[in-house]
């Protein structure tokens, strides 16, 4: 069975048996149900849209589509857009907020910041200069950003071209070190916003405390009933659920190798997802993810305001797109910030300051290609009248 990521031993053994029986009988009858395939069907269409070097000008729907391909918490896609001739408004959809994991809306705002970064890159590629106002009606209001669009020379960028290639990678990384040149590139990117700081943990002695705290936090989260139930509610166990919701965490995005994913799809049940083995797999996978990482990063700000989180989301998305262009793969890992005030001092020790707020931790490295996650994205799904 699978949690935010993977498969238990018991499920593996049961699944191996199931696979043999199926193969033996020549019964590939579930192939069309997404057992043997990934990333197929309407929930994945947005990733496959044409992505020309010079996209058509004045295409607001194209701009919004690019925004919806951003990273976001639990693939909850907590956004809505309003399009007018010369502006786009980005709204938080608080009905999609993770109440148990993200009560202070750090992740909600980060995800919206990621969408804003994609939106801005896509607008510039289509010949618009963007003028962005964050939280024009205050932090509690659902209107999160107003983006004024003024005609300008189109400026497609290498980061824009990475939007449909980027994805969260939860697989086992190779552990290969990141070259000095790319570490320097990352550090430079981390200085783009003076309100933020990028902390990098590269040497074993630097990585160890980050990894240890992640594992400790994940062990607590695995036993936290409300947080477990919330993650389980965003889990989409088969093609039918993926097609229905076009959101959430899937087996294919869990990072397991192909054969393990087939087995997981054959044996998975709601009972498993809502039961204790889900947490065990979560811990086991987190250990594997931490141990195989080449480096960790944490973005911090002076305070954890909604504005700081939006800005950090923009920077994180830029880092992720840039890393993609360098063949470096990435996974946000937030467990010690997910409603864990008891870990405040440990986090302060990691970033070397109790006067700053850690906003988004992530791991970096090299891993196999993994399938994309589903997306809503038809105009009716995410665009307000
Ligand atoms: C603020 C934020 C927090 C996230 N936290 C985690 C996390 O702790 N573990 C994880 O595996 N993925 C995490 N993710 C990745 C999302 O689950 C992922 O972006 C989403 O499922 C969509 O998939 P994609 O990034 O491949 O498009 C996080 C993403 C964001 C923006």
The number of the ligand 1 atom at minimal distance from the alpha carbon of 167 is: 26
HEC string of the chain equals: CCCCCCCCHHHHHHHHHHHHHHHHCCCCCCHHHCCCCCCCCHHHHHHHCCCCCCCCCCCHHHHHHHHCCCCCHHHCCCEEEEEECCEEEEEECHHHCCCCCCCCCHHHHHHHHHHHHHHHHHHHHCCEEEEEEECCCCCCCCEEEEEEEEECCCCCCHHHHHCCCCCECCCCCCCCCCCHHHHHHHHHHCCCCCCEEEEEECCHHHHHHHHHHHHHHHHHHHCCHHHHHHHHHCEECCHHHHHHHCCCEECHHHCCCHHHHHHHHHHCCHHHHHCHHHHHHHHHHHHHHHHHCCEEEEEEECCCCHHHHHHHHHHHHHHHHHHHHCCCEEEECCHHHCCCHHHHHHHHHHHCCCCCEEEEEEEEECCCCCCCCCCCCCHHHHECC
Pocket test for ligand 1, best of 69, 101, 332 (most atoms within 8 A of CB): 332
Contact predicate 90/115, CB 8 Å:
yes
The number of the ligand 1 atom at minimal distance from the alpha carbon of 248 is: 21
Distance between CA atoms of residues 101 and 108, nearest Å: 10
Q: Does the beta carbon of 74 sit less than 6 angstroms from any atom of ligand 1?
A: yes
Q: Does the beta carbon of 261 sit less than 6 angstroms from any atom of ligand 1?
A: no
Domains for the chain: give ranges and CATH numbers: 9-42+167-365 (3.40.109.10), 51-166 (3.40.109.10)
Sorted by sequence, the CB contacts under 8 Å of residue 312 that are 6+ apart come out as: 110, 113, 196, 299, 301, 359, 360
Interval 148-184: pLDDT, tens: 999 999 998 999 999 999 999 999 999 999 999 999 9
Q: Does the beta carbon of 73 sit less than 6 angstroms from any atom of ligand 1?
A: yes
- Residue whose Cα lies nearest atom 3 of ligand 1: it is 73
Cα–ligand 1 centroid distance for 69 (angstroms): 12
Nearest to 275 by CA among 310, 217, 225, 347: 225
pLDDT at 34: 81
Q: Does the beta carbon of 124 sit less than 6 angstroms from any atom of ligand 1?
A: no
pLDDT higher at 303 or 6: 303
pLDDT at 13: 33
The number of the ligand 1 atom at minimal distance from the alpha carbon of 333 is: 8
The number of the ligand 1 atom at minimal distance from the alpha carbon of 370 is: 26
Q: Does the beta carbon of 114 sit less than 6 angstroms from any atom of ligand 1?
A: yes
Q: Does the beta carbon of 105 sit less than 6 angstroms from any atom of ligand 1?
A: no
In the predicted structure, residue 14 carries a pLDDT above the cut 60 = no
Contact predicate 372/39, CB 8 Å:
yes
- Residue whose Cα lies nearest atom 2 of ligand 1: it is 73
Cα–ligand 1 centroid distance for 362 (angstroms): 10
The number of the ligand 1 atom at minimal distance from the alpha carbon of 169 is: 26
Stated pTM of the model = 0.92
- From residue 66, alpha-carbon distances to 30, 38, 144, 162 in Å are 32, 21, 18, 11
pLDDT at 31: 47
Lowest-pLDDT range of 12-21, 248-257, 348-357:
12-21
Q: Does the beta carbon of 120 sit less than 6 angstroms from any atom of ligand 1?
A: no
Interval 244-271: pLDDT, tens: 999 999 999 999 999 999 999 999 999 9
Q: Does the beta carbon of 109 sit less than 6 angstroms from any atom of ligand 1?
A: no
Mean pLDDT of the chain: 91
110 phi-psi bin (left φ>0, alpha ψ -120 to 50, beta other): alpha
Q: Does the beta carbon of 76 sit less than 6 angstroms from any atom of ligand 1?
A: no
Distance between CA atoms of residues 53 and 378, nearest Å: 23
pLDDT higher at 277 or 133: 133
């Amino acid at each position: 069975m699978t949690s935010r990521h993977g498969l238990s031993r018991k499920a593996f053994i049961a699944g191996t048996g199931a696979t043999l029986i199926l193969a033996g009988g020549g019964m590939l009858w579930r192939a069309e149900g997404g057992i043997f395939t990934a990333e197929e069907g309407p929930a994945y269409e947005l990733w496959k849209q044409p992505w020309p070097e010079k996209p058509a000008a004045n295409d607001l729907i194209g701009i919004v589509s690019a925004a919806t391909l951003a990273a976001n918490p639990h693939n909850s896609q907590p956004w809505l857009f309003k399009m007018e001739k010369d502006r786009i408004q980005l709204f938080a959809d608080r009905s999609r907020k993770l109440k148990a994991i993200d009560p202070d809306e750090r992740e909600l705002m980060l995800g919206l910041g990621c969408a804003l970064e994609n939106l801005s890159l896509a607008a510039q590629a289509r010949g618009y200069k963007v003028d962005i106002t964050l939280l024009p009606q205050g932090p509690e209001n659902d209107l999160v950003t107003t983006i004024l669009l003024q005609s300008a020379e189109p400026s497609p960028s290498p980061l824009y071209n990475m939007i449909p290639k980027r994805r969260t990678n939860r697989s086992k990384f190779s552990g290969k070190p990141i070259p000095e040149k790319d570490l320097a590139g990352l550090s430079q990117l981390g200085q783009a916003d003076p309100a933020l700081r990028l902390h990098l943990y590269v040497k074993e002695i630097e990585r160890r405390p980050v990894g240890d705290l992640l594992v400790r936090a994940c062990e607590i989260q695995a036993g936290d009933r409300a947080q477990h139930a919330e993650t389980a509610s965003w889990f989409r166990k088969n093609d039918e659920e993926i097609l229905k919701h076009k959101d959430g965490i899937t087996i294919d995005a869990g990072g397991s190798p192909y054969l393990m994913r087939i087995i997981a799809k054959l044996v998975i049940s709601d009972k498993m997802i809502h039961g204790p083995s889900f947490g065990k797999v979560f811990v086991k996978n987190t250990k594997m993810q931490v141990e195989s990482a080449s480096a960790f990063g944490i973005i911090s700000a002076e305070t954890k305001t909604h504005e700081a989180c939006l800005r950090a989301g923009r920077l994180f998305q830029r880092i992720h797109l840039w890393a993609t262009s360098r063949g470096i793969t990435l996974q946000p890992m937030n467990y010690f910030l997910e409603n864990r005030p008891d870990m405040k001092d440990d986090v302060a020790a990691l970033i070397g300051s109790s006067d700053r707020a850690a906003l988004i931790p992530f791991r970096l490295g090299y891993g196999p290609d993994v399938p994309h996650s589903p997306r809503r994205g038809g105009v009716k799904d995410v665009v307000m009248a």
